[in-house]
A and B are shown apart, each in its own frame.
Chain A
Amino acid sequence: MTDYGCATGRSGGAPAAPLFAAALAFALLAWASPAGAQMTEEQLARIPAGPQPIKFSHQVHATDNQIPCQYCHVYARRSNVAGVPSVALCMGCHQFVATQLSEVKKLSEYWQKKEPIPWVRIHDVPDFVRFPHYRHVNAKNETYPNGVLCQTCHGPVDTMQVVQLADANFGLMGWCLACHLKIPGTLERKRATPEAPGSAKLMSGLRPDGRHRPNLTDCLTCHK
């Protein structure tokens, strides 16, 4: 019998405090360098304003406190989208951590009001493109034996106080293809002609081990 999801009887009610996440975060912060945890209002003031509703510094979180990207962007390895952290996830730490800072107070205000934070999108690919984060994060090939690092496309976000595009060409087709063509087999497959010896094998969509050969230049691979 097929298993489908099922709704539980009642929904709604106040969201439970994400204590589990908080406990994890504490453990993490205790282990990490203490520098960020002692951030002061003056340090905060030195961070430029930027377009976002809250001055969120990736530098503070990812570098100073060594929080891995996927701790907050939890869906990157499982889904097309990386996932903007939910307010509940932010509050998991910030109901205990740095609560005195003005920007964190803004966060708790959103939480008190039960409103999501209207972040401004910086890294945007067009709606007609299918970009599966998880296929990149989990990539396994000669160039990326352990997956593509976030920084490969997003730039050094982990050291940015304000997230901005590292490359003005981000999300343009040529920019995507520049990397796709570097994946071994792609260019060979594209350039192979029936006449060239041995190229017919290269042009097959399957590798001898039964896995798909990368088909990274076909329009339908990305365009929906």
Chain B
Amino acid sequence: MGNDIQRRDFFKVLAATGAATAAVAGCADPPEKLIPYLVPPTNIEFVPGHPVEYATTCMECPAACGMVVKTREGRAIKAEGNPDHPGNAGALCVRGQASLQTLYNPARLASALVREGTTWKAVPWTQAETTLAERIRGLSDRRQLVYLTGNGAGTRGRFLDAWLAALGGAPKLVFEPLGQQNIKAANDQSFRRPEIPQYRIEQATFLLNFGSDFLETWLNPVRQARAFAAMHAIDDAKRSKGRFVHVGPHVSLTGANADQWVAIRPGSERILALALAREVLQRRGKSVSPPEAARLREYLAPYTLESAQDATGVAKDRIAQLAREFAGARSSLALAGGTLAASEAGTATQVAVNLLNHVAGNLGKTVHFGEAQQIDHGAPFSEVLALVKRMQAGAVQLLIVDGANPLHALPATAGFADALAKVPTVVSLSPAWDETTSKAHLVLPGLTFLESWGDAFPQKGVNALVQPVMAPVYPLKSVEDTLLAVARAAGATQFEKTATYYDYLRAAWAGVQKEVGNREAFDVFWRKALQAGGVFQQVSASGAVRLDLRVLAEPAPRGKLAGTGLVLLPTASLRHHDGRGARNPWLQEIPDPISQVVWDSWADIHPTTAKRLGIAHGQAIRVKSPYGEVETAAYLHYGVHEDAIAIPLGQGRTDSGRDADQRGVNVMTLLPAVHDPASGQFAFVTTRVSVEPLPHQAFLVQTDGSPRQLGRGIIQQMSLEQVAKGEAPAAGHGGEVAAAAAGAAGQSAAGTVHARAASFYPPRERTPGYHDPYRWGMSVDGDRCTGCSACVAACYAENNIPVVGKERVGLGREMSWLRIERFIEGRGEEYQTLLQPMFCQQCSNAGCEPVCPVYATYHNPEGLNAQVYNRCVGTRYCSNNCAYKVRRFNWFNYEFKSPLHLQLNPDVTVRSKGVMEKCTFCVQRIQHARLKADGEGRPIKDGEVQPACVQTCPTRALTFGNLADPASEVSRKSMRGEEARQKRVRQYEVLEELANLPAVTYQRRVRVTTEQEA
């Protein structure tokens, strides 16, 4: 500086002036206490400061993915997928990542409660158990004891049966709002196999999906996402990829990943499937024997292209084209499921899809029956209705509810609220507040799955164990142990030899040991199973099934959508599932990837329809059905049929704690209590609703800013043809600059090379001391990323990122370091949704670094844009100068409401007010690996470090590693060297023209269009 004052001196002077007013600040922290262990743990190899990991099984949804939970000093701090589990293979979904907030939820109950009028009284646990036992003993007819549970799978189901048998209660009822009875019933009718087959998505080259949300909630989303990536992501060597067509009235995350969306009238999936089957049979039908073909032809005769066009609203040429593709594909697969295929004709729709798969020869190939998915999807809705009737008739004296929330998840017209009021004693075993628990008389809060024992058998050959990963957050008992104590107190003698549920489980696993053919001592077997998360075996079974032609004689379904107005489409939520995730703050704060809405519900309306009704985006609307009405925000979305309105499930809580209550609306209040008579499954698509604009804007918070890229080329895509030819498409608004620069450099502007503007400084990699031996970098494959947001939740969990709430997100102050960007291209039915993760690009020539006046952010020798939190003074210059908007500022000291603070990762600073924060590729994990490598006197190996986002990605879209090592996986994917430039067909860097030189490279998404397929 000119006037002989150095930067450091300047700050010293500044600090000295400040010291006069704030003399105490910064001098000394208040003395801390050093609390030693009374007795250190001896049952594990325990070293404080080192994580202990437990393998267990995720119970957030029935898919039961394998999980490894990292604990530090006895607190669970991070959930990862179990790499040995055949279902999820090391990945977890957004809900699995957020399961730690189920464990540490502020709405959890800390003691047993008894209702006294309108208030609750905490009572000692044993007293509550005795009360329950007395009530059971006092029943005049033990059949009036009813047990309603949300989880009746595995040994637990058998235990509940045994418990109810011992006490003489009615058979248990498993309540699962998103049931799969339609598939089972349809497969029973079609093949006499009432089971859910294994869909081998990975083997298909053409995937036709009738409305299922297989990347979100349907069946086993993580496994299916992996299979989908195997099928749909481009094979760069072969330059080929599978094609995915989504058929349905609504586009959610799954539909957004399709190459093509066919918008059909709600409820007309069956007709389309049958018309396709008819066409395919005419073209191919090789797998069908001649007499069967004749019979099928006769059955399918009425489903001509014309009739299908009338019923579905899809032009017959397009249907014919679809049929051509389906018949011509090397390996095809048709799927149907989810809430949108669950109408009153849901089973018939599944049968139609079975016929389509049959005539295309997919049975035993891409639809495999031998290794059935044993996911427990509960009792059919018809049985739940029967229970409601019994309750209303006064035939239920004692209702025990555990892990289910029927008051929220059932339609209001089912009459559950009235029926519940007629039950003299309602006992809830729910670990946290929910609507049903708040109406109970006695609450014995159970433990979450992360604190209890259990098991799950989601698929043949997958025997998964659930073990407690930490001591209970509150001094409570698991549901099963409570039930055992109650049974004993009620005088049952059957459980004399079973002191705890742990003993029961071990006894059950003696049977598993026999089944899997293990001959070790049981304790050895048990210990190994616990360490591995279960016993996993490859089961090979013949997948042969035969079509039972009697299915063709089934009566045609009713499937009517009476009334006027728009068809209501209740959609399962990626984040909240059927509503069970609504209590977790992360799942509220992480935006829905398609709508980018946080903490709220919204109603997807087609812009044409909205215009007709005089509704603007974000306007408050009243949605009225014959059964109820709700007020929500209109969301203009091309991805919904013009004749429909879609509202996600799960929100609209009233008694589930402060994070869930009064957020959005409960769409179930609009629905009648009807079900598919053939299967008993609840019918979601049954109702038309009137939509009426209200005179005000709703308070709808979206994180996307602009839905359009405006020529910036942030998420780029190209066609398969371009990949084959090796020509990159013109980039965003940097295209001209790059072309001009390339021209100036004497290169062809049409080539794949984006020459960068000349720089005054030598590149970092040629600056000694930098990028040697490591330059950490990442490769993001846009063709693999589905936008599932698991990485976002993983980042929240790993890096102690605070949740700021709807109002502050509305001000643009969300703290997520990693976000899923969503852009819309095109208009109308041909519109496309582009999704891609965005996080700190760790630029070599970063905008943030030179503007920091205190050197809090700087370029680390290993290529990280380091952020030193305690050095930051919060000028926010860095954020203003960041082209990627990935820096987040702490406007407040954000609260981690107890007991959520127990989840905080001790390896990452909890930032305070006035500090800028950002992604550093999970530098704590890099440092951990370095210290380990130092101890062993070697460099860090490729693959040794995985940031949280990379580790949990179900489709392996993210690759992390050392760019300075040409042999590393990330270097091979990124192809950064000059010599690799010609091969960089799909590669680009976001906002490359700014010459920030990011360490993150993206691979373009590849679209397959029909013409190129042929």
Contact = CB atoms under 8 A, between A and B. Distances in A.
Interface of A: 1-11, 15, 18, 51, 75, 78-81, 83-89, 111, 114-121, 124, 126-128, 130, 132, 134-135, 138, 189, 192-194, 199-200, 203-206, 209-212, 215, 218-221, 223-224
A224 to B, nearest CB: 5
Nearest to A132: B931
27 contacts: A2-B55, A4-B55, A6-B55, A6-B530, A7-B530, A11-B471, A75-B47, A79-B49, A81-B48, A86-B36, A88-B37, A114-B38, A116-B35, A116-B37, A116-B38, A119-B35, A120-B34, A121-B31, A127-B910, A134-B935, A203-B772, A211-B939, A212-B934, A218-B860, A219-B868, A221-B927, A223-B909
A224 B32 contact: no
B49 A80 contact: yes
Interface of B: 29, 31-40, 43-45, 47-50, 52-55, 68, 83-84, 467-469, 471, 500, 502, 506, 527, 530-533, 767-769, 772-774, 858, 860-862, 864, 866, 868-871, 907-910, 920, 923-924, 927, 930-931, 933-935, 937-939
A120 B934 CA distance: 33
Contacts of A15: 38-39
A114 B467 CA distance: 27
Contacts of B471: 11
Contacts of B47: 75, 78-79
Given A15-B38, A128-B909, A194 B768 contact: yes
Given A9-B502, A204-B773, 20 more contacts: A2-B532, A4-B532, A6-B527, A7-B467, A15-B38, A75-B49, A78-B50, A84-B34, A84-B35, A84-B36, A86-B36, A86-B39, A87-B36, A87-B39, A89-B40, A117-B36, A134-B931, A203-B769, A220-B920, A224-B908
Top-8 shortest CB links A-B: A203-B769, A6-B530, A80-B49, A15-B39, A200-B768, A84-B36, A86-B37, A79-B49
Contacts of B39: 15, 18, 86-88
A35 to B, nearest CB: 27
Contact of B34 (A5, A18, A119): A119
Contact of A220 (B35, B83, B773, B923): B923
A2 B860 contact: no
A89 B36 CA distance: 10
Interface of A: prevailing SS: loop
A209 B939 CA distance: 10
A9 B481 CA distance: 13
B55 A130 contact: no
Contacts of B32: 120-121, 124
B238 to A, nearest CB: 32
A124 B37 contact: no
Contacts of B864: 220
B202 to A, nearest CB: 23
Max count, chain A CB within 10 A of own CB: residue among B39, B858, B920, B939: B39
B646 to A, nearest CB: 42
B868 A223 contact: yes
B935 to A, nearest CB: 7
B532 A1 contact: yes
B892 to A, nearest CB: 19
A215 B774 CA distance: 12
A82 B768 CA distance: 37
> Which among A4, A9, A10, A84 has the greatest number of chain B C-beta atoms within 10 A?
A4
B768 A87 contact: no
B777 to A, nearest CB: 15
A15 B55 CA distance: 26
B855 to A, nearest CB: 9
Contacts of A206: 772-773, 939
Nearest to A87: B38
Contacts of A11: 43, 471
B40 A128 contact: no
A115 B768 contact: no
A111 B60 CA distance: 41
A165 B562 CA distance: 81
A50 to B, nearest CB: 12
A211 B927 contact: no
Contact of B53 (A5, A86, A203, A211): A5
Contacts of A128: 869-870, 909
A138 B467 CA distance: 36
A172 to B, nearest CB: 11
A176 B937 CA distance: 23
Given A121-B32, A121-B33, A211-B937, A218 B861 contact: yes
B54 A192 contact: no
A119 B938 contact: no
B336 to A, nearest CB: 37
Given A2-B84, A194-B767, A224-B924, A135 B48 contact: no
Contacts of A4: 53-55, 68, 531-533
A62 to B, nearest CB: 18
B85 to A, nearest CB: 11
A66 to B, nearest CB: 23
Nearest to B856: A219
A18 B182 CA distance: 61
Contact of B36 (A116, A134, A211): A116
A18 B40 CA distance: 11
A148 to B, nearest CB: 14
Given A7-B467, A206-B939, A192 B40 contact: no
Given A211-B934, A223-B870, A205 B36 contact: no
A100 B55 CA distance: 48
A193 B467 CA distance: 56
A51 B34 CA distance: 12
A79 B45 CA distance: 12
Nearest to B32: A121
B634 to A, nearest CB: 45
B769 A119 contact: no
B695 to A, nearest CB: 51
Nearest to A85: B36
A219 B34 contact: no
Nearest to B855: A219
B83 A2 contact: yes
Nearest to B71: A5
Nearest to B909: A128
A7 B930 contact: no
Nearest to B42: A16
B442 to A, nearest CB: 27
A192 B860 contact: no
Nearest to A205: B773
A126 B527 CA distance: 40
A78 B934 CA distance: 13
Nearest to B471: A11
Nearest to A52: B34
A7 B54 contact: yes
Contacts of B868: 219-220, 223
B920 A5 contact: no
A205 B772 CA distance: 6
Nearest to A120: B31
A142 B732 CA distance: 54
Nearest to B505: A9
**Which of A9, A88, A118, A124 has the most chain B CB within a 10 Å cutoff?**
A9
A36 B864 CA distance: 54
Contacts of B773: 204-206
A88 B40 contact: yes
Nearest to A115: B38
